[in-house]
Amino acid sequence: MDKNAILDRAKEYITKETNPLFSAEVEKLLTAGDFTELEDRFYRNLEFGTGGLRGVIGGGYNRMNTLVVKSATQGLAGYLLKAVPGKAAAGTLKAVIAYDSRHYSAEFAEASALIFAANGIKAYLFSSLRPTPELSFAIRYLGCDTGIVVTASHNPPQYNGYKAYWNDGSQVIPPHDQGIIDEVNAVTEIKEISQDEALRRGFLEIIDREVDEPYQSMVKSRLFRPDLIKAKAGEVKIVYTPLHGTGAKHVEKVLGDLGLKVITVPEQREGNGDFPTVAFPNPEEAAALDMAIQLGKKEKADVVMATDPDADRFGIAVPDKDRGRKAYTLLTGNQLGALLADYIFLSLNELGKMPAKPVMVNTIVTTGMQKRVAASYGVECIECLTGFKWIADVMRRYEQDGSGKTFVFGTEESYGFLVETEVRDKDGVSAAALTAEMTLYWRSLGKSLLNRLDELYRKNGYWQELGISKYFPGPEGPAIMKGIMDTYRSNPPAILGGIKVTGVRDLARGSGELPASDVLQFFLEDGTVVSARPSGTEPKIKFYATCCADVGKGGLQAAREEAARKLEAIKGDINRVIGN
């Protein structure tokens, strides 16, 4: 896009943006003649992708701001009016909106609610910060046709985002995703209404405890051993951090109601979009849990828990006596997912509640260990694309196809877990409650979570995973990422990490029951799987590798060393291609 076109778009944006802070940013750049920054803000529109929006906050069409959010919501409203014409004609369409602690989340959420109201769609707006899983629950509980949560999940402070949901409580997938994208791209006029008028006409309703309490009750109802918790709750001490996000309200309430002692990191308890105590508010990052682990050491906690800002992701660190008296180990999402799968299946069997055709769902980049754990309990493990919306899609399919298959657990490697059907997205609150119960259960048998994990390794092989992310920001980023994927497609490696590649799966056109997606997978001779995909929400390309080493006679330590050697060699080969 040439310089004049960029400048014209900047001037046009100023005339449309109603938030003076964002328009002033662009005016300042024009006055300063900062074309480099203007180009980055206006060379494209921030893409409304298959999951919604995510980007850096600021003025411009390629930023998260009030105008971009309003346009997106107008497009979503327009699609909804066409997709459900009967309810549109009857005036009974409904939407619900939640938001997290990020900068401008409350403003973006209110703007979205008023756009729905202006289009004749009743909007339920949470009165304050709420987790993403509660938004999913609220859609189903209130009988809404769509929902929005304003969040950028675990991204750095300068980001915000916008996730769109359909009437089953899951993020939108085909055909709705493309239909919404088309409507968003076609928006020329945004309908607006004031908050006073929306309230007066009944198109806006502020909600809080009428959804909070049923959600909390549902989470508690999904536990297996309430009597065990009641009898032994005092034996487990929990340190928890919401990482300046939305989780404290529900995690503290649910675990407190169960009688569990929860000590929340005071400096990280309240919502704060600056995330002042962490570089990245992501429980996958060991550094994000540092403050909680230090408090855990002081309090001699049995488990340290963390949720990300919108409380859909959940991670834990546990005491590791092998590393020292006060050492804690951060479990990976794959490890915690395997432990939860094992505990859920074991409990269903012990309590006589295992359905006739149980199904666990995980993603194609999740550890193969979970499939072995599931098989050991007679549970079928179904793979889907990366992203919890695809796990929800499998749930929906089995509810409708008459197969008799029953969803019992869903998980993905990036700290996502779902133990209930009332929510159709990953749920850090319910994962926290179940993990607390699981910790108590193994404690009652004289074991720690690490003890049980080692038992699973001895039975199923030692599994270890690797993740690599490379960012490509700016106008040239998409082309660079496409070039990397094209190179792997046109000239796939014969060897990765010194191990022969025996098969390649390219999902560009779909494969079997998996929809089309920009994903490549390489299957190695020893059973290792390496996957590559550009992120759908950020300017980065991601690589995943999962490998297994036989525990055998050498024991766990030898297996750990073997897996680490394999993954390090694979990492070197990938880094040479992407320039890390």
Write out the catalytic residue numbers. Answer: 153
Find residue 366's DSSP bridge partners. none
d(CA 170, CA 186): 24
Residues 448 and 435: beta-carbon distance below 8 Å: no
Quote the CA–CA distance of 520 and 488 in Å, as a whole number: 8
| Rounded Cα gap, residues 550 and 556, in angstroms | 9
Taking Cα atoms as reference points, which of 307, 245, 310 lies closest to residue 276? 245
Report the distance separating Cα 50 and Cα 563, nearest Å. 35
Strand partners, 532: 520, 543
User: 41 with 473: CB under 8 angstroms?
Assistant: no
**In angstroms, rounded to a whole number, what is the distance separating the alpha carbons of residues 251 and 265?**
13
Find all residues with CB under 8 Å of 546, minimum gap 6, and list them.
334, 365, 366, 367, 368, 463, 464, 465, 466, 528, 529
Query: Between the CA of residue 181 and those of 53, 74, 453, what are the distances in Å?
Result: 11, 11, 43
φ, ψ at 518 (rounded to 5°):
-80, 75
- Distance (Å, rounded) from C-alpha 216 to C-alpha 422? 12
Of 364, 358, 335, residue with least CA distance to 346: 358
C-beta of residue 64 within 8 angstroms of C-beta of residue 15: no
Tell me how far apart the alpha carbons of residues 116 and 163 are, in angstroms, rounded to a whole number: 15
Tokens of 102: 């990020």
Strand order in the sheet with 499-506: 462-471, 540-549, 529-534, 520-524, 499-506, 495-496
**DSSP code for 509:** G
DSSP state for residue 556 in the 8-state scheme: H
Give the residues across from 547 on adjacent strands: 464
19 CA to centre of own chain: 29
Torsion-angle region of 555 (φ positive above 0: left; ψ -120 to 50: alpha; else: beta): left
CA distance 169 to 141: 9
- The alpha carbons of the chain give a radius of gyration, in whole angstroms, of 24
Which sign does the torsion angle of CA 234, 303, 337, 165 carry? positive
Q: Which two tokens stand for residue 297?
A: 């050491």
DSSP letter assigned to residue 514: B
Residue 205's nearest CA partner among 294, 371, 310, 94 is 94
Q: CA 43 to CA 117: how far, in whole Å?
A: 32
263 strand-pairing partners: 239
